[in-house]
Structure 1
Amino acid sequence: MFITFPADEKVKARLDAVCKSLNITYEEWFETALLESEHDVLTTLLSSNSEDLTGWKWDANLCRFVRSSDDE
């Protein structure tokens, strides 16, 4: 996996500080950010239609949405 940084050194310095304080690698940070982003987007999408929301739920162990019937 390749991670590119913006040209802004301040942004890179903040990311360095966050990763160092959490004792994680850039890759771990990036994967977490992707999972959180997916969760936020899908939660927003599903909550716009309450009928759809009843059939889906977030599985924290799998880090993805699953159908309620698949979870049982």
Structure 2
Amino acid sequence: MSLHVIFESAKCQGYANCLIEAPELWDFDEDNNTAVLRLENPHDALRAHAEASARCCPAQAIRVEGPA
């Protein structure tokens, strides 16, 4: 199983902390004030960034799954 980022957009409150932590993985929709996941299955080299974006989300809208 590869690295998989799960984003529950309905929980997103628009803080954009994920974008700050991992701009390679995230974008921001200013019209809807919500994050946009660009890569659901990023390369393992981006694991630390994906995990940081999940940790810093105040709404707990992000999870990272896959082998360590």
TM (norm. structure 2) is 0.27
More strand by share: 2
More helix by share: 1
Q: Point out the structure with max Rg over C-alpha.
A: 1
TM (norm. structure 1) is 0.26
